[in-house]
Amino acid sequence: MIAAPCLLVLALGCKSPEERACENTVKIIEQSGAAAERSGAGKSEKDRYRDCLESLGRLRQQIQPDEEMWFAYLRCLNAADSMSAQFECLAPLTELQNQQTPNAEQPSR
């Protein structure tokens, strides 16, 4: 009996945090007309969405952040209103990646 309500929610379009973040990313790209021309070179909205999901999957696998950091990143992507704001969302993941790289150059203190 519990499975039926879950299926109903899925049928109504329940989206993962990754899907919501990519929807926002595609919306930002579409709204930035000239940037979309340069970065998309004829890609459809559906292609950009698929590329975004694939990129997120690769990023998560490569960096392997904990759940808290990953979902904070996705919330940031979803809340961003520009590409520059989305790039700022990467800062914690970039820092984590630098910590994981054995020969990463550390800034002098």
User: In this structure, what DSSP letter does residue 105 have?
Assistant: P
Residues of the domain holding 25 = 15-100
Domain assignment present for residue 59? The answer is yes
Number of domains, the chain: 1
Domain assignment present for residue 54? The answer is yes
Instruction: Give the DSSP H/E element, type plus range, for residue 5.
Output: helix 3-11
Domain assignment present for residue 9? The answer is no
Question: What is the pTM for the complete model shown?
Answer: 0.74
Domain assignment present for residue 4? The answer is no
pLDDT of 2 over the 90 cut? no
Domain assignment present for residue 108? The answer is no
Give me the count of residues in the chain.
Answer: 109
pLDDT of 38 over the 60 cut? no
User: In this structure, what DSSP letter does residue 104 have?
Assistant: P
Is 28:86 a contact under the CB 8 Å cutoff?
yes
